[in-house]
Structure 1
Amino acid sequence: MNAATPQQQKKILVVSAHPDPRSLNSALTGFAVEHLRAAGHEVQVSDLYAMKWKATVDADDFPDHVADERLNVMAASERATLADRLSPDIAAEQEKVRWSDAVILQFPLWWFSTPAILKGWIDRVFTSGFAYGPQVPPPYSEGTLGGRRALVSVTAGARESSFSDRGIHGRLADVLHPVQHGLFWFTGMTPLEPFAVYGANDLPEERFEAAKREYARRLDGLFTDAPIPFRSLVAGDYDHDMRLLPGVETQGMTGLEMHTHPRG
């Protein structure tokens, strides 16, 4: 592909979560970084295991917290965020998110969720006052982190059919809803359809090459592909109690799908 022109150059943060640098996830991270840089983009990488990222929220995250006081995490994180008094590792990751035009999360699907180290990155970095809370715009809208694209790149050991609408694991869109809707869209980022590699525990070389070709296509469309059409909290589809108004959804829509606009 052609290198990006100066007007097309973007800043992309890749957050990678796998303990083995020889893993498929690490290979996909390396491929994404190389492909994006070859296209002229700036890329930063947060390799959480290599960084030995601390996954648990505790009082050490907030240096001004008084030791004998009860730790109210939301209140303490908001005070520390607004006063620029978060622990240095959190502040550094928040700066990467602010810097970025897009965030890519690369991880294996473990127990239908992210690895604990990535969940800890989310818990600690997306503080009140930075990503949510009364001091920033409303959630589920073009809010505090608006203007950024967001892509999940995930590997799963199971076959693709098991994550279908009739698959025993449920739709991948539903499994990833806490990340796509509850993290990205909640904070105003624009999530894209996920990129997934199935059967990842024993992936033959030809399927890995095919996966890289498809991933390259998705990376090329990072800023042009149509996003998931989640409904905005502030566009009139929800009542004061944040419940979807009756009859707003298309007939036949059920469950989490009701929180997306019908696709044309």
Structure 2
Amino acid sequence: MHALIVIAHPNQDSLTHAVASRFSQGVTASSCHHSFEIADLAAEGFDPRFTQADIDLHLKKAMPPPDVAAEHARLDRADELVLVYPVYWWSFPGLVKGWIDRVFTQGWAYEEGADGGLIKKLAHLKVHLIAIGGADQRTYARHGYFDAMKTQIDHGIFGYCGARIATSELLLASDTGFPTTHLEAAHALGSKIFASQQ
């Protein structure tokens, strides 16, 4: 089994990178038969801007641009998608949102049927979301931010394409034992990602 771990943080020394690293260590510790690939969007210079080429792809007037085709290939190799990201303005960083905008395309992630209905094409993909936030749990609860994130991301993006959310974690700086507990949680999550397939 193979996991694609997507990271969007420009600082290689960030907690986001450390959490992704511990998650990947958990994957390999669980079985020698499991593998992972890191998609470090910032380090790789992925361009999140939605351009005319992306519009042409959406309208089925062109093939995917090379960078989008490469991301499709990475996702096609994966059994599980893991997104590890800092919370910016109560959502994804722009780099992750741009990656989704450009990569989760019509014809690949979903299809508008001849009858106008929606064909969800990512039912085979399980998704794990690990968000790292700075505010405390009370702030998220009081303003409904976590529920809003789940509605927008879990349902609005992945549900639309048919992908199943297997894990949706919010790791906060106010959590007891921060940051050690976050690294331990990431390792534990990685070690059980493929548990049901063994």
State the partner residue of 2:118: 138
Which of 105, 122, 129 is matched with 1:152 structurally?
129
Specify every segment of 5 or more residues in structure 2 that has no aligned partner in the other structure, as ranges. Answer: none
* TM-score, length basis structure 2: 0.86
| 1:32/1:216 contact within 8 Å kept | yes
State the partner residue of 1:89: 67
Map 1:34-183 to 2 at 5 A: 34-39=25-30, 40=32, 41-61=34-54, 74-75=58-59, 78-80=60-62, 85-134=63-112, 138-139=118-119, 143-164=120-141, 167=142, 169-183=143-157
CA distance in 1, matches of 2:80, 2:51: 28
Map 1:161-240 to 2 at 5 A: 161-164=138-141, 167=142, 169-199=143-173, 206-223=177-194
* TM-score, length basis structure 1: 0.66
Deviations for 1:192-237, whole angstroms, at most 9, x for unmatched residues?
A: 241121127xx89x42222222223333333458xxxxxxxxxxxx
CA distance in 1, matches of 2:92, 2:57: 21
| 1:12/1:103 contact within 8 Å kept | yes
Specify every segment of 5 or more residues in structure 1 that has no aligned partner in the other structure, as ranges. Answer: 1-9, 62-70, 226-264
CA distance in 2, matches of 1:162, 1:119: 23
Normalized per residue, the structure richer in strand is 2
Residue 150 of structure 1 aligns to a residue whose secondary structure is strand
| 2:26/2:186 contact within 8 Å kept | no
Q: CA RMSD in A?
A: 2.4
CA distance in 2, matches of 1:102, 1:138: 23
State the partner residue of 1:14: 5
Relative to structure 1, the CA distance from residue 193 to residue 44 in structure 2 (aligned partners, 3 Å threshold; closer, same or farther) is closer
| 1:16/1:25 contact within 8 Å kept | yes
State the partner residue of 1:245: none
Residue 188 of structure 2 aligns to a residue whose secondary structure is helix
Shift of 1:112: 1.2
CA distance in 1, matches of 2:195, 2:61: 37
Report how many residues are paired. 192
CA distance in 2, matches of 1:79, 1:35: 43
Structure with greater contact order relative to length (CA < 8 Å, sep ≥ 6): 2
CA distance in 2, matches of 1:224, 1:172: 27
Rg larger for: 1
Shift of 1:99: 1.1
